[in-house]
Structures are given as structure tokens and as C-alpha cells.
Structure 1
Amino acid sequence: MSVCQQCGATLAPEDPFCGRCGAPQQPQSAEGAEAVGAATLVAPSPEKEIDPWDTNADEPPVEGGTSEPEPVMSESQLDKTISPEEAKRPPEEAKQKTTAEIRREAKESPGTARAGSTGGRQPTASKQLEPGVVLVGRYEIVRRIGGGGMGAVYLAKDRNLGDAARAVKEMIESHIDNSQHEKAINDFKRESLLLTSLEHSSIPTIYDYFYDDGASRFYLVMRYISGGDIAARLRNAPGGRIDEKTVTTWAIQVADVLDYLHSQRTPIIYRDLKPANLMIDGNSGRVMLIDFGIARWVTKQEKGVTAVGTMGYAPPELFSGKVEPRSDLYSLGATMFHLLTGTDPQDNPLLIFDFNKNPRPRQIAPSLSNEMEAILMRTVGYKPEDRFRSAAELRDTLSAHLEKLRAGTVT
């Protein structure tokens, strides 16, 4: 093992970038690495060595199957990625603004967000940004690593920080009419400022955000997370299920970050918890909560996604606008149900859990413990008052259950 030469995080051998801060690493001698390792607390090792520039690094290992390809954007969904006026701008206008300037601009000019500009190679009208494109004179696109019809996520190099690895999330505004344009920008800025204020080990750090007026695209720059999402892991899992101990470990971490969000001065309700919005950090193995819903403010909705969540994972009260913290617990329960049983809640014709009409968890997956079945059924209770009182209570219940699983005392 080695450590980051900038922030001190533990890294996999030969990892060229830090998974925490993104700083590039210089190779250490064997003697130096051994000396550092002896004096450093070793974090859980990654499942595999991650190379950010490896074109296959963002895909989880395939076990007995091939993951489905990510959808790409249709031509009709894209506008030109840069306007003629933008291309003619002097280079001075493309300089990066500081965080202080961005925050001041957000307060003083609520009707606009800073416009993005490109340096180096110019974006084209293709389906996605091409490798080599430089956004706002700073973020050089390396490759596309995810996304769909509403935008994409790219791996990029931060030129201002020694080519540190960053994830750049693109959100396309082409489906917003002129009357909603200013509101979309304001919503994007408000959500971005909110995200920059959050600090939790399961929330990716947000470094920057900007709006490209010529291309009608919003961008978030965040910590690059190596590793795939849980939905992909489930698709590749043997038997289409994930074991109870692993799911319990993941759920504890998700419940903890939900407790953090719900405990803010103004509680934050995530609203769209599902396997596709949970990633596993390839370096730490920790679950990361991604996609805080900015895209739903500024783009055409995905098929199956409502203004409040995803069908099958969304609790009944969300569709009547009665959102509350326990709504997120239902979605976590639906996610756990999917992972443990292999049964997708979106395939349920009722789109809610009614165990008087549908099989109970152990009827689908007999290997589940009685205790886990009880936890699942309580978490997806039809009424909020039927569920756990809080994310903290669910987290503590799951933690106690994990100890029993490890001790072999479950039934």
C-alpha cells in the first residue's frame, strides 16, 4: 500500500491518482513505500487496482454476464456545443473564477450563472464532448464514463491542479422553453451552492460548477469516483442477487448519509434513491450517494421518473406531494428488496409493496434471515408512520443485525 503525497489518503499500489483528492502520484521506491505503510493506518484495500485513464476502469467486474450498454443521446436532444459568439471570445474571458467569486456572483446576479467557455480543441455538434475539449480553460475531457439522454458524465483532467482526475457532470437544458430558462439557471445555482456546503464521506466533493450559455448546458465538477454503480453490480451478480451481509453493510452507510441530510437545518430529502444512484468507491469500497436531482430541475424527465422519484422505488405519499424524511427510508427499503431478492420493484404492477397480494421477501429468496425480512417489510410500510422513525433508527437496527450476521446468530 502507499499513501497520497498530498492529503495522506491510503492508495492502491501503482495508483497514479488519489481517490480522495485526485492529486497525481509519483512512484515510490519499495523501501519508501514500506516505510510509509508501517506508520500509516491501512484503509480497506480496493477490489482491484484502479487506473483513471484505463478505458475499462469505470466498469464493475463481469461475473457470468455482460452489463447493458449505457444509452447515448439522440441527435434531436443536442444543440451545438458552442456558439459562434463564444468561439470568438478573447482567451482572457475563459479564465477560471474562484469559489469566492462564484458565490458572490450567485448572490449578486440571481438571474445568471457564469458562462462556460472552451480552450484548446472546440466541442462539436456530436453526441458527446470529444476527448481533448477543454471547458472554461481548465477541465480537459478525457472520456465519457456514464450518463444518458439528459447529459453525460466525463472523466477530465484539472489543468490548474496538475491534471488531477475529476468527474464532470453535464446536464442539457435543450428541453426548457424560454420562459423557464432563468428559473432553470437559478435552480441550478441554488442546488450547486447547497451541494458545495455538504460534507459527508458518502457524498462526492463538489469542486466547481458553471453554465455554458452557448451550448445550453450546465456542468458540475466533482470528485472522480472509480468503480461502478450498484445497479451494474446487481446485473453482473451471480443469480441476480447480492448477499445479505454485503447489502446490510451498504444499507448502513446509506442510512447514515440520509440521517446527515435529514438532520440539516433545512432537512434535505433525497427523493430518488435507487441502485443506479449509488456507487461503490473503487479505492475505499464505500457507498457514495450521487445525483442530487439537479437534472430533474433543468431537463426533460426520464421515462419512469416523476417529479418526485422513480416508479417502484418512490413511496405512495410522494405522488401526492407529501414528501418527508421517511419517504427516503421507503426508497432505501425498495432498493434493499431489489438487491436481496433480485426482483425489480418497477416490475410490480401495483408499484407499491403490498405483502397481502405480493410474495414476502423470504418467499422469493428463502436464504434471507427472518430478521432481514422484518426490517424490509417495516421499511417499505405503506404509511410513513408504519416505517422506522428516522434514518438513524434504521441505521442502528441494521448495525445490530450486521453484528448478528457476523456472529451467526440470525434465524
Structure 2
Amino acid sequence: MEQYEKIKVVGRGAFGTVYLCRRLHDMKLIIIKQIPVEQMTKDERQSALNEVKVLSMLDHPNIIEYYENFLEDKALMIVMEYAEGGTVFEYLQQRGNALIEEDEVLRLMAQILLSMKHVHSKQILHRDLKTQNILLNRDCDVIKIGDFGISKILSSKSKAFTVVGTPSYISPELCEGKPYNQKSDMWAIGCVLYELLTLRRAFEANNLPALVMKIMRGSVAPISDRYSDQLKRLLLRMLHLDPDKRPTIDQVMAEPIIFKAVIEVCMTMGAVKVHPKTHPILSSRPPTGNQRRSASRVSSARSSSHRSNIILESSGSGGLPKPRPLSLIYCWGNGIPSPLRLPLPHADTKVLQVSIGRSQKTGVTHNGRLIIWESPSIGTDSGLPGAVDQVVPLYIPRYLEGQSAVSIQNVSCGDLFVACLTDRGILMTFGSGAHGCLGHGNYQDLSQAKIVEALLGYEVALVSCGASHVMAVTNEHEVFSWGRGDNGRLGLDSQESVSSPQAVVLPPQHRARSVCCGVDCSMLITEEGVVIACGSNRCNKLGLDQGEQQIEEVFSLTQVATHPLPQLNITSAAIGTSHSAFITDKGECYTLGSNQFGQLGCRTETTTPRIPCKPSFPDDVTLTQVACGDMFTVAITTDDKVFSWGKGARGRIGRPLQDTSAPRQVRLVDQDINVLSVSCSHSNTIIASKYVENEA
């Protein structure tokens, strides 16, 4: 909310509070709906947040404009256009008994029809059109349709069934419980027209049964003789009891009396919206004094906010030693030859989980904050042969901006983007939008985290990012995927890329327990410890080969078949570029795929054995975690030792050695630690740990 200034509360409803606010960068008045999603059930959340999805699909001068949404104070904030003239219902109430001139009625009706034609063209039913949901501008000559909270998006031209809407405006077919379509919206438009002509509702009664009886009879009080017979006949057709005999929007707009008004509205209002901030002539004008002062305040506030987010670990004062940190974060690779301690915002910061991408290092704290480590210098992850490692960079921690009141519980990094999951199962993404991997239905980049709106009706329990795709699992074991689709990595039985979450079909009787995404494939572990996978199976890294038959890729989730993986109870897994690693319920490690650089942790006769290996560790250890990079592997034992093996170039294995095909221990500066989380990317590793004595 730092970009907005609250002015006053303008409404309260079943789902939240509506605020009139001022947008600071241009001082424009806007409306923000605050919906506290934290305590809502899945169905309530889906119903309350449907308006976001619908408004984002619509773009019309006579429909309230949707700007953005964000999470704050554990509530969804929906930012939209402000209509200063109030509602048509209020406008009619203020007139007393003074009827509206026919020309004005026709002008308002033309705008309603134009806006609803746009709505219906998107296969959307409004389902709650009434004068309270039709807004006006300051001069009360331009209408804006709003409140799409219970709108229905039709997947086809089939009809809807749920009985919703305001009783006085519901159609006869709704009263009878019959299926309905756009013709029910036409009935509601007829009720609004009647109200414009008479200043009272078409159907009113003291109780619901009496109201339903009046609607089913379809009889209304006569219209004043001051209005033309042509308009009266049109009204009666719109209020026909048989929906098949009701006119469509196109038929109503083709009526001569309406057509003339539609043409006048189109000619006077126009269809092209000019935004001063982007117009080449308007944007060249010097700002006024007030604009300069406002811009200065906003710039100062943003600079101050940005500075406050970069807080380095305290160096102590008065000669006192620094307090012992509660968390120790190490990273190596990408030119960092041995484990490097990353700074923390404060000595008492506790980091429970970390994730690393090609260009991001992130961590989740015990109190739900997301930390991002940034380097002021330009990264050197060229990966080119002969590339020269540069000086070890200085990493600076900062908290994710704009989400201070949201509790993050899990984070996962892709190549150039990040997905973070709140404790209430709400998924947010930011970073590069290439391939649609942010899940927002487009390919735009985002600098701040935005809710994946298509999943608001679900409680996401797990999320994993591949290089350019994402897979998420809900608390009801439903699986969704989106992003780049090559090789069938999305499990959608195709290679098409998608920019919004799509439901993934699991093999019968399988329920997902965990998820792992690789560069070009995905893997799920079921509640029974069975591994199912999809995507590229190069070098048989997914274990999909069936005997002598080599499988190169699969487009839908398929159970692993390479012995002995089907007989093992797998608890966790990791995927690299051309290999993978599995941990069983006994703490044993199996690796599979390419062994060109020793990344399988054992010597093999060929570089692509296509059968599982069992790495041999120096001591008799039990593993708890494993992570894979492009040509290396990292594992954590029950006694918190860190082992790595594979390609040694650019510090991948955390020690100044060449390639090694046997697990070797990574020596950390601090030895008495508990390792909490490990993550690998292309040539990077990050580990979160804490001192043993800080267990309490």
C-alpha cells in the first residue's frame, strides 16, 4: 500500500471492505477492495476472488477498469477504477418522482448494451446486473458496469445452473431452477430499463415466495405515456417469460430506436483511451508544481523504503563482539571455489529453507519473510569454455518488498524467476515472464511478487520450479503445471507451452506427496513412495526405460520402470541436467543418468550406463537430502555432513578439486551445525544451517 493513500471507507460487504484511495504517482482517485482471504474456505475464496479474473479479461470504456492486485495484511487488495458519480440506483433515488427523458434513457441503455455485448463476447455471464452495480462518472452521463463477483465464465456455449443474483432481477428460468445463459442477463437488462423508465423496480414483494410468483407471471405495471410505443414494445420483449423468445443483445442494438443511440454514444465517447503518461505529446509537457512535489514525495518514500530493506549484519558497537548468528547460509559455485558465508539482515534472523536459481539466491525465515541475496556486480555465469572466474562478489540481503505482512513458508527458484508460497496456500511469482512461467496468463516480467490468480480457489501445498516451467500440488493432491512445454515436461500430453496453470492428470490411484522439476522434465513422488515422471528422459535420468527399450521422452506422468527403482520406497528426489538422485526410506542414495563427469558418484563402464548407481560414501552414512546441478550432486547426511561429487570446474563441488566420481565431504567453516535445507541450480549450491546449541 506504499503506492496508495487511503482516504476513506466507501463500503463494506460480505467479503471485505472498499476504500477510496489516491494513487501517489499520478494522484488519481481509485478504489481498493480489501478481501481477507486468510480465514475463508476454498469455495468462499473462489467466489470472492472471481471478480479479479473476470475484470482482468475485460477492457471496455463502460466497464470498471481493473489495475492490479496484491497481498497485504493477509488480505487480497484489488485495485480498480473509481466512478465518482455513484450508482444508477442512487441517481434514480435522488430524482424523486421526476421521470427521465427518453433520450437520456436511450443513451444510458446504449452504454449498458455495449458493455454487456463485450462481456458476453468473452463467454461471461454477469448474473447480478442491477442498478446498484451500474456506476456513473462525475457528470452522470457515462455508465460503468461493475461488481463481477459472482460472474460465470462459460467454458463453452453451454448453460449455467447455479442460482445466484439479486432476487428482484433474477429471470423466470432461474426461479424454476432451469439452466440459463446470456438470456438471463438480457432479462436483468430489461429490469434495469424498466427501472429507468419508472424509477421503481419491475418486480417487488414483501417476501421471496411472493416475489417469485410475480416474476413467474411476468406482469409489470404500465409505463408512462411520455415514452414511445417502440420503446415499450422492446421492453416487453426483453421481459418475455420464454428465454428463447427474448432478443439477443445484437437484436436489441439493431432496433432503430436503440441503434441511433448506440451510434451517438460511439461517436461522442469514442473507443480510444489516451493515457497521458505514455502519450508522446502530453508526456513532454513539464510537470506542474503540485505534480513535482508529489513525484518528489513518492521518489523519496521509495528510496527510503529501498534503503531500509538493505540491512547488513550488525558489526557490534563499543568494542563488543558480534552476537552469534542463529542461521548460517553458505553458497558456492559459479566461480566461488569454496563455501562462502552469506550475510543476514540481522544476527537473530532464522532461515529455515533456501532455494537457488541461475541468478537468484533466496531464503525463507522462521517468521515468514523472504530474503533475496543480490550482488551489486554483474554476474559471470557464462558457462563458456575458458571463461575466467572473477573476484568473489559481495552479496547484500534484502527482504522481498511489498509483502511484509504476508507469511511465506516455501520458495522455489527457476532460471530467472521465483515462486513463493504463503502459509495459507496462496502462490505468488515474480521475475522473467518468458515462456509464461509466472503463470499469469501472459509473458510479462514482474519486479514484485504477484498472486497466481488461477490458483486462488485452491490451497497450494507444494511448488517446484524448473528452468522455465513450474509444477504445483494442492492440499487435495491436485497437480497443476505451466510454462515451457518442450519434451512434455508439463505432463499435459503435449509439447505446447502454457502461460497459466493447467490441471495435470495423474495415473490412477496415485496421490502426489512431493514434486521436483528439472531443466526439461518433472517428477512426482506419491504417498506410496512411487516415482512418476514426464519430460525428457535423456540418459534414462527419469528411469523410464523398459528393459531393453529406451524411452527418450514422455508427455504425461508415467511410473518409473528401471530396476530397482519400482521396488524402492522413495522419499525424496532431485533432477539435474542429465542425471537424477533418489533417497529411499532407509536413507540410501541411488543415482541415474549421465556419468560423464562422475555426477553419479560411482565409477561406471560407460558415461551413460542407463541403470541406477549406488554411490559409495567414506563412512557408513544415512542421507536425508539430495540436490542436483547440471553436472554435480550434493547430499546431506543425518549427522549434518555435506558431500558433493561430479564436475569441479567453477567451484561446483565446493572445493578446489577437479572432477571426482566419489562423494567427498565439503568442509564448512563452522562444523557444529545442523543443515536445514540445500538447493542446487546450474552451477550453484546454497545451504541453510544453524548451530547445534541453537536447537532450542
TM-score interval for Structure 1 and Structure 2 normalised by the shorter chain: 0.5 to 0.7
TM-score of the superposed pair, with normalisation by structure 2:
0.33
Contact 2:19-2:33 within 8 A present in 1 as well: yes
In structure 2, give the amino acid aligned to 1:168: I
Task: Show the counterpart of 1:166.
Answer: 30
Does 2:149 match 1:293? yes
Cα deviation digits, residues 138-168 of structure 1 (max 9, x gap): 3221112344455332211223x24332111
Answer yes or no: is 1:207 the counterpart of 2:64: no
Q: Which runs of 5 or more structure 1 residues have no equivalent in the other structure? A: 1-134, 297-305, 404-411
- Residue in 2 that maps onto 1:198: 58
Question: In structure 1, what is the Cα distance between the partners aligned to 2:192 and 2:94?
Answer: 16
Cα deviation, 1:23-58, whole Å, max 9, x if unaligned, reads xxxxxxxxxxxxxxxxxxxxxxxxxxxxxxxxxxxx
Residues 218 and 239 in structure 2, CA contact (< 8 A), matched pair in contact too: no
The structure with higher relative contact order (CA 8 Å, sep 6+) is 1
Matched with 2:21 is 156
Change in 2 beyond 3 A, CA 1:263/1:186: same
Which amino acid is 1:322 matched to? P
- Asked whether the 8 Å contact 2:54–2:148 carries over to 1, the reply is no
8 Å CA contact 1:166, 1:223 repeated in 2: yes
Match of 1:237?
95
Q: Any idea what SS the aligned residue of 2:111 has?
A: helix
CA deviation map 1:187-246 (0-9, x unaligned): 5555413322311111122111234464xx432101222111100011011415433221
Distance, in Å, in 2 between the alignment partners of 1:262 and 1:357 is 24
The one-character-per-residue Cα deviations of 1:366-394 (angstroms, maximum 9, x if unpaired) are 32221111011100111111210x21221
**Code of the aligned partner of 2:42:** E
Distance in 2 between the 1:240 and 1:151 partners? 35
1:12-411 → structure 2 map (5 Å cutoff)? 135=1, 137-148=2-13, 150-159=15-24, 161-171=25-35, 176=40, 181-186=41-46, 191-212=51-72, 214=74, 217-239=75-97, 241-264=99-122, 267-282=123-138, 285-293=141-149, 307-319=163-175, 320=177, 322-348=179-205, 349-351=210-212, 358-362=219-223, 365-388=224-247, 390-397=248-255, 398-400=257-259, 402=261
Alignment CA distance shift 1:377-1:294 (3 Å): closer
Change in Cα spacing, 1:318 to 1:371, as seen in structure 2 (3 Å) is same
Cα separation, partners in 2 of 1:170 and 1:240, compared to 1, 3 Å = farther
Secondary structure of 1:292's aligned partner: coil
Bigger Rg, which one: 2
Deviations 1:117-140 (A, max 9, x none): xxxxxxxxxxxxxxxxxx3x3322
C-alpha separation in 2, matches of 1:357 and 1:193: 34
One-letter amino acid of the structure 2 residue matched with residue 361 of structure 1: P
Aligned length: 248
Per mean C-alpha deviation after superposition, the further-off stretch among 230-239 and 138-147 is: 138-147
**Alpha-carbon deviation of 1:293?**
1.6
Deviation at 1:352, TM superposition (A): 6.6
**Contact preservation (8 Å) 1:271, 1:308:** yes
Distance 1:243 1:361, change over 3 A: farther
Counterpart residue identity of residue 222, structure 2: P
Give me the whole-angstrom Cα distance separating, in 2, the residues matched to 1:144 and 1:285: 25
CA distance in 1, matches of 2:83, 2:226: 32
Q: Report the Cα offset of residue 358 of structure 1.
A: 3.9
Q: Give the structure-1-normalised TM-score.
A: 0.53
Cα distance change on mapping 1:401 and 1:201 into 2, 3 Å: closer
Output the CA distance in 2 between the equivalents of 1:231 and 1:335.
10
